[in-house]
Amino acid sequence: MSDTEKDLAVHVAVCDERYRQIAQSLKEGERRMTKIEYLLYGVMLMVLLGPGIAGRFGFGGTQVH
């Protein structure tokens, strides 16, 4: 095996490891983004529905009859 072939084999091995680490990071990031997405949906619901629902139960200073 020539020096060039050895260098190429080492390069391929290093790139494979980097690719594996990048793929793992993307997978973990996807899980975090999904969690953040659901949290944002919850916050949006609270903001949109919160004042009206709170008013019906006598919270927040205004009551809806």
Residues 6+ apart with CB under 8 A from 60: 51, 54
If DSSP codes are grouped into helix, strand and coil, which group holds residue 64?
coil
Residue ranges making up the domain that contains 39: 1-65
Which pLDDT score, from 0 to 100, does residue 33 have?
92
Could you give the CA distance from residue 24 to residue 51 in angstroms, rounded to a whole number? 42
**Number of structural domains in the chain:** 1
Which pLDDT score, from 0 to 100, does residue 55 have?
61
Residues 7-61: tens digit of each pLDDT: 999 999 999 999 999 999 999 999 899 999 998 888 888 777 776 665 666 655 5
Residues 6+ apart with CB under 8 A from 56: 63, 64
pTM exceeds cut of 0.75: no
Which pLDDT score, from 0 to 100, does residue 60 have?
54
- For residue 41, CA distances in Å to 3, 29, 31, 34 come to 57, 18, 16, 11
